[in-house]
């Protein structure tokens, strides 16, 4: 079985995001870029399944600019077998991304597609679900545990009520939550080895996927700041202040 | 223009996220707001939806397959129901986030996640980058708007006269490739984290599962819900459904008390809309103090027992 893992290149989660004064976007030029943390977890899970002999090949895919090769190389260094970059300088919407992934899925015929539950830039949390719909296959989102047995995956999902377990027939789409695993660190020899692994670059235009109609971003703004209050010295002062505010 | 809202429930009760989605829909200026209840044995649920203020009609899809909220099963039914509506809303809970993108892809439409402001029927705002930026969106008026509603941004509507309930039967084959196995839910009798007026949260500073009891004791004294940081959940002090933040729950209680939580941006995203934020932390430079209305620097293991005593 093949496993396809989608990796998005995003601004690293430690970078402080600031909106440009003219409202045209966020000032992230030159910022540190990384694999979306949820996608890294998805890849780790795929690698563990391969190491447990549940899969033969792990393919990492990214849709993004030329520079997203860096994130794919990191994925290869972690242990993926080969990589595909669908090159696009424009950001794609989740539905567009799902359509692109769907064409790759039709070509590669994986038994499992693993993605992060959301990307930490647009926070959409849509692509995996959309891919599953287009593919007509099951989805198991927000996974914190995955067990493969024959043609079925049993997945524990982090939901608002607690932990939900569902069983899905393969092929299926699984999206990872933070507690699924802790991704490995890449070692220097693996980085060297990754340089020789295949990385196939395909311009988005060549895929023949039409972009769906989308909403336009007309303006970016910073969130309303919360005013810092003041510090109190004692528990009594705290209780008095809470009573004055009418919350006790 | 008409808006359809998919109700969220646990089989017994509608949750407040539905009433919050109705509140968002009420700002659209649509002629009708309908609520669809997909359930098994859902008459009582439909009755709860019917009395929500502003609801014109309730559509009940009662079917055995709808006993558990499986996206692959619900999505084709919702896509069929949505025919003729200008707007389709679901709450931005794990339920809505799981189901609506699947519906959107079936309909070939984009989806807005975490809609936080309604500026017009096709004009909205939503947060990105863990709430560090807000984008204003203009959607094409000729196509339906699909959105999950950021529940902390809207106060739930009240109740009033009952709207009519219509039972619908859809001739759709539903997939059998996805099966519910089990739900492990915390059956505690504390207030629900997402709708509680007061929340007491604990972080890594609690140090152990045993010490986390202190958070629960303070919460119980205040009739508050219990929350946790990711670090506290990862360390096993608290179950996952108590996590507050970018990847946990986004909440807006009147009072939020953070014990031993540093205030990482991903955590703060979850509490931006809280009324009063209180931080108790031994590090005077902890970022939580930058957003706290009231801060108390000190050891929580000394402060919380004092609080418990004085609240008696
Ligand atoms: C993609 C991504 C998503 C994330 N999503 C979330 C999320 O949804 N929610 C979330 O919370 N985090 C999230 N995080 C994690 C986040 O970045 C922080 O790591 C986490 O919030 C830290 O939790 P904490 O404040 O409990 O722990 P720490 O940062 O370790 O802080 C512990 C605090 O306790 C204080 N303390 C220790 N002992 C005492 C004492 N005796 N008395 C008083 N104070 C004491 C310390 O001074 C310190 O400030 C996410 C991270 C990533 C990368």
pLDDT in tens, B109-129: 999 999 999 999 999 999 999
Residues A12 and A31 sit within 8 Å (Cβ to Cβ)? yes
B12 touches chain A (CB under 8 A): no
Look at residue A240 and tell me if it is in a domain: no
Of chain B, the percentage scoring pLDDT greater than 90 comes to: 98
Q: Can you give the pLDDT at residue A210?
A: 87
Tokens representing residue A62 in the block: 């990214």
Which residue(s) pair with B179 in the sheet?
Answer: A167
Q: How far is CA B73 from CA A145, A169, A190, B77, in A?
A: 22, 14, 43, 7
Look at residue A203 and tell me if it is in a domain: yes
Give me ligand 1 centre to Cα A171, in Å. 37
Q: Can you give the pLDDT at residue A226?
A: 87
Segment B4-16 shows an average pLDDT of 96
Q: Can you give the pLDDT at residue A228?
A: 81
Is residue B203 very low, low, confident or very high in pLDDT (cuts 50, 70, 90)? very high
Give me ligand 1 centre to Cα B194, in Å. 20
> In chain A, which residues have pLDDT < 50?
none
Which atom of ligand 1 has the smallest separation from the CA of B245? 8
**B50 three-state secondary structure:** helix
Segment B232-257 shows an average pLDDT of 96
Query: What's the total number of domains in chain B?
Result: 2
Query: CA of A75 to nearest chain B CA: how many angstroms apart?
Result: 23
Query: CA of A49 to nearest chain B CA: how many angstroms apart?
Result: 21
Q: Tokens 């440009």 correspond to what residue? A: A20
Look at residue A244 and tell me if it is in a domain: no
Please tell me whether residues B109 and B242 are part of one structural domain: no
Look at residue A76 and tell me if it is in a domain: yes
Q: Can you give the pLDDT at residue A227?
A: 83
Q: Can you give the pLDDT at residue B189?
A: 85
Query: What's the total number of domains in chain A?
Result: 1
Q: Which residue of B has its CA nearest to A139?
A: B72
Give me ligand 1 centre to Cα B262, in Å. 5
Per residue in B149-175, pLDDT tens?
999 999 999 999 999 999 999 999 999
Q: Whose CA is nearest to atom 15 of ligand 1?
A: B230
Whether the CA torsion B66, B71, B77, B78 is positive or negative: it is positive
Please tell me whether residues B73 and B8 are part of one structural domain: yes
Contacts of B131 in chain A (CB under 8 A): 223
CATH number of domain containing A15:
3.40.50.620
Q: What's chain B's average pLDDT?
A: 97
Please tell me whether residues B108 and B19 are part of one structural domain: yes
Residue A143: domain span: 2-218
Last residue of one domain, picked from the residues B168, B183, B206? B168
Segment B94-122 shows an average pLDDT of 98
Give me ligand 1 centre to Cα B243, in Å. 11
Look at residue B192 and tell me if it is in a domain: no
As a whole number of angstroms, the distance between CA B99 and CA B112 comes to 13
Per residue in A106-148, pLDDT tens?
999 999 999 999 999 999 999 999 999 999 999 999 999 999 9
Please tell me whether residues B254 and B134 are part of one structural domain: no
Query: CA of A102 to nearest chain B CA: how many angstroms apart?
Result: 12
Tell me whether 0.95 is exceeded by the ipTM. Answer: yes
Look at residue A241 and tell me if it is in a domain: no
Q: Can you give the pLDDT at residue B188?
A: 79
Strands B165-167 and A152-159: unpaired
Q: Tokens 């984008």 correspond to what residue? A: B135
Record: contact B102-A166, CB cut-off 8 A: no
Tokens representing residue B192 in the block: 């629900």
As a whole number of angstroms, the distance between CA B77 and CA B61 comes to 9
Look at residue B183 and tell me if it is in a domain: no
Is residue B312 very low, low, confident or very high in pLDDT (cuts 50, 70, 90)? confident
Record: contact B130-A95, CB cut-off 8 A: no
Q: Can you give the pLDDT at residue A50?
A: 98
Last residue of one domain, picked from the residues B123, B149, B168? B168
DSSP state of A67: G
Look at residue B187 and tell me if it is in a domain: no
Residues A42 and A113 sit within 8 Å (Cβ to Cβ)? no
Residue B213: domain span: 198-311
Q: Can you give the pLDDT at residue B120?
A: 98
Query: CA of B46 to nearest chain A CA: how many angstroms apart?
Result: 21
Record: contact B110-A247, CB cut-off 8 A: no
Q: Whose CA is nearest to atom 49 of ligand 1?
A: B262
Please tell me whether residues B91 and B239 are part of one structural domain: no
Please tell me whether residues B100 and B203 are part of one structural domain: no
Q: Kindly tell me if the per-residue pLDDT of B186 is higher than 90.
A: no
Q: Can you give the pLDDT at residue B154?
A: 97
Please tell me whether residues B28 and B139 are part of one structural domain: yes
B294 touches chain A (CB under 8 A): yes
Look at residue A88 and tell me if it is in a domain: yes
B187 touches chain A (CB under 8 A): no
The gap from C-alpha B282 to its chain's centroid, in whole angstroms, comes to 31
Whose CA is closest to B95, among B125, B118, B75, B110?
B75
């Amino acid at each position: 079985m093949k496993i396809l893992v989608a990796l998005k290149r995003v601004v690293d989660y430690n970078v402080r995001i600031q909106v440009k004064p003219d409202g045209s976007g966020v000032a992230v030029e030159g910022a540190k870029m990384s694999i979306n943390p949820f996608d890294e977890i998805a890849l780790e899970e795929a690698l563990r399944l391969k190491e447990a002999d549940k899969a033969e090949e792990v393919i990492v895919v990214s849709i993004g600019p030329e520079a997203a090769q860096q994130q794919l190389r990191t994925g290869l260094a972690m242990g993926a077998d080969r990589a595909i970059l669908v090159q696009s300088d424009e950001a794609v919407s989740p539905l567009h991304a799902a359509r692109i992934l769907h064409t790759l899925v039709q070509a590669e015929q994986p038994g499992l597609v693993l993605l992060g539950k959301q990307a930490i830039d647009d926070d959409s949390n849509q692509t995996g679900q959309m891919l599953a719909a287009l593919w007509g296959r099951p989805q198991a989102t927000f996974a914190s545990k995955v067990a493969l047995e024959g043609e079925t995956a049993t997945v524990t999902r982090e939901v608002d009520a607690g932990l939900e377990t569902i069983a899905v027939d393969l092929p299926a789409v699984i999206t990872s939550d933070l507690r699924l695993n802790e991704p490995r660190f890449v070692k220097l020899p693996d980085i060297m080895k990754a340089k020789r692994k295949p990385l196939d670059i395909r311009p988005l235009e060549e895929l023949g996927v039409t972009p769906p109609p989308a909403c336009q971003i007309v303006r970016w703004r910073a969130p309303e700041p919360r005013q810092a209050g003041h510090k109190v010295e004692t528990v009594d002062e705290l209780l008095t202040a809470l009573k004055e505010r009418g919350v006790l | 223009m008409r808006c359809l809202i998919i109700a969220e429930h646990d089989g017994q009760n509608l949750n407040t996220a539905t009433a919050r989605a109705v509140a968002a829909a009420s700002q659209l200026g649509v002629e009708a707001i309908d609520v669809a209840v997909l359930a098994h044995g859902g008459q009582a649920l439909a009755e709860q939806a019917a009395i929500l203020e502003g609801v014109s009609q309730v559509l009940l899809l009662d079917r055995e397959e709808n006993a558990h909220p499986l996206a692959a099963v619900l999505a084709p039914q919702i896509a069929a129901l949505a025919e003729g509506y200008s707007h389709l809303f679901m709450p931005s809970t794990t339920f809505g986030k799981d189901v609506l993108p699947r519906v959107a892809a079936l309909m070939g439409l984009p989806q807005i996640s975490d809609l936080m402001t309604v500026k017009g029927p096709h004009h909205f705002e939503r947060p990105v980058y863990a709430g560090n930026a807000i984008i204003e969106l203009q959607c094409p008026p000729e196509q339906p708007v699909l959105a999950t509603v950021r529940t902390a941004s809207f106060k739930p509507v009240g109740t009033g006269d009952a709207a009519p309930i219509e039972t619908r039967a859809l001739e759709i084959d539903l997939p059998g490739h996805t099966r519910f196995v089990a739900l492990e839910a915390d059956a505690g009798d504390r207030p629900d984290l997402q709708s509680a007026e007061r929340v007491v949260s604990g972080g890594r500073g609690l140090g152990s599962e045993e010490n986390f009891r202190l958070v629960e004791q303070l919460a119980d004294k205040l009739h508050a819900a219990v929350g946790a940081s990711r670090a506290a959940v990862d360390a096993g002090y608290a179950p996952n459904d108590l996590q507050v933040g970018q990847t946990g729950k986004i909440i807006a209680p009147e009072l939020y008390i953070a014990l031993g939580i540093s205030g990482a941006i991903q955590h703060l995203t979850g509490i931006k809309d809280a009324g009063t934020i209180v931080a108790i932390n031994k590090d005077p430079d902890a970022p939580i103090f930058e957003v706290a209305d009231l801060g108390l620097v000190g050891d929580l293991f000394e402060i919380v027992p004092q609080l418990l005593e004085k609240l008696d």
